[in-house]
Structure formats: structure tokens, C-alpha cells
Amino acid sequence: MGSLFSRGSGECKLFGDFGWFIQGILGFLSFSSLIIKKYTEKPCRSWKIWFMDTSKQGLSAGLLHMLNLAVAYMIEHNNPESNQCTWYFLNFAIDTLLGMAICYLLLNLIEGLFSKSETFSFTSGFYGTPPRWGLWAYQVWLWLGITIITKGVLIGTVLLFHEALEFIGDLLLSPISDYPNLELMMVMIVIPFILNSLMFWITDSFLKNTKNQIAEVKKSSAISMELLENDDTSTRDELSVDDGYGIN
């Protein structure tokens, strides 16, 4: 694969052996960040609700990753002088900074439009009581649809401002452009991991249902209090039975 800091005249390639290896590491790190978030949030969701919420992000992130690879490849194929890593970096940055805002607006718009329909109404992050996989699947398809629409808008923006964006991307990556493997690692691991973590945490805040979390905590607290009261009642009953005063 070559040394990470070895110089080379070749371009940074997303689809070589080293590129696929880097993409595998990115997928692992992205999933790990979701687990870390599970242990740091308060109130804490149950594992089932956490999986239902974060799997929507995981699936949309995987879809965006493949679309970004396809866009980077197509642009480089149509313009051999373009750098695949530059365009992957640009697509990823635009997805995070602009795409997240569009997704948020579309989610609220669709939720509002469907609110009066008994068949299609939904609340993001609410899957019924008890949680049902059918409602989860419905929300997954809606979120993936929002992701695809958003990506279409962003691709149009990229194509419209192609030359200006390419200049900015090349300029930002110019300090490491002489080291293709280092450039690939920065573009495919370091920068996406930082942007992914930011995007996951912010997106999760509007995908999950905070009321459900509070309800789960209240339910757990109520169960705990009931168990304590029952235990206290049982203790008093045991003390009152045959306590030496002839009480049976």
C-alpha cells in the first residue's frame, strides 16, 4: 500500500486497496461514535429505542457515503484532471454544513403536512407503545427519501458551482496534496469522523423523541418506587405477624 508519508506524483484514489481499507475504518469509527453517544446522553434511551433512532442515521450515512463516492468518481471520470479526494471532501463538507439544515427543514415540513392524516401522520422518534418495527420502518423510508431529495439538491448546487468549489477544495487540501496516502486518510477518516460526530449528535437531537425518553425514565422510576413500597409493606407485615403480643 505504500508509506503514509511517502511522496508521489499520483492522485489520491478512493477506489484503490488503501482506499477501501480506509473506508472500512471510517465505517467502524462512525458506528463507535453512536455507541459512545448512548452512554453519554441523559436521560438514557433503552437499547431498543436507541437502535431504532440511530439506525436511521446509520442507514442514511451509508447511503450518503455511496452517493458521495459515485459523485466523486463521475466528476473525476468526466474530468480526469480532477482529484477524487477533493470532491469526496467537498461533498462530505457540504452534506454536513448545508445538507443537515435542509434535512431538518424537510423533516419538519413532512411531519407537519402529514399531521392531519390518520394514515400517514407520525412523530419522529415515536414508534408506538410498545415500540413497533412497522412504525420504525415507515420512518426509515421517509428519512431515506428526505436524504435522497437533499442530496439531489446538493448535487445540483455542486454542478452549478463546480469550478469555484474545486478551486476551494484543492486550496484547502494543498498542504498534503504531495502525500496521496496521507491525503486519503485525512479525507476518508479524520475529516469525516469529525464531521460525522458533529452531524450524528445534532441530527439525533431532532430525530429522537425527547418525550419518549422522559416517559421511559418516569416509568422506570414509578416501577422502582412501586417495588420499594411493596418491599416496605412486606417488611411491616412480617414484623406485625407473631410479634410476641399474641397477634397472628
Q: Which residues have CB under 8 Å from 154's CB, separation 6+? A: 91, 94, 95, 98, 99, 102
Supply the DSSP symbol for 36: H
- In a domain, residue 11? The reply is no
Mind spelling out the 3-state secondary structure of 173-191? HHHHCCCHHHHHHHHHHHH
Give tens-digit pLDDT for 76-124.
677 766 777 777 788 778 888 898 899 999 999 999 999 988 888 988 8
Compute how many other C-beta atoms are within 10 angstroms of the C-beta atom of residue 50.
Answer: 19
- Residue 138 domain flag: yes
In a domain, 237, yes or no: no
Report DSSP state, residue 95: I
Instruction: Give the Cα-Cα-Cα angle 6, 8, 9 (nearest 5 degrees).
Output: 170
Which one is predicted more confidently, 203 or 22? Answer: 203
Residue 233 resides in a domain: no
Q: Give me the number of domains the chain comprises.
A: 1
CB atoms within 10 A of CB 119: 5
pLDDT at position 67, please? Answer: 80
- pLDDT tens per residue, range 11-20: 565 555 666 6
Kindly state whether residue 184 falls inside one of the protein's structural domains: yes
Residue 1 resides in a domain: no
Q: What is the pLDDT of residue 13?
A: 59
Residue bearing cell 473506508: 23
Query: What is the band of 3 on the pLDDT scale with cuts at 50, 70, 90?
Result: very low
Structure confidence by residue, pLDDT tens digits, 209-239: 765 544 444 454 444 455 555 655 555 554 4
Confirm whether 235 is domain-assigned: no
Using the predicted structure, report yes or no on whether residue 188 has a pLDDT greater than 60.
Answer: yes
Percentage of the chain beyond pLDDT 90 is: 15
Number of residues that this document lists for the chain: 248
CA dihedral 76, 5, 95, 165 (to 10 degrees): -50
Q: Is 140's pLDDT higher than 90? A: yes
Residue 133's pLDDT is 93
Q: What is the pLDDT of residue 103?
A: 92
pLDDT at 145: 94
Residue 158 has pLDDT above 60, yes or no: yes
3-state secondary structure of 102: helix
Nearest in space to 66 (alpha carbons), one of 25, 16, 23: 23
Band the pLDDT of 141: cuts 50, 70, 90.
very high
The residue segments making up the domain with residue 164 are 17-208
**What does the DSSP 8-state code read for residue 156?**
H
What are the pLDDT digits (tens) for 23-48? 677 767 767 777 887 888 777 888 89
Residue 125 forms part of a structural domain = yes
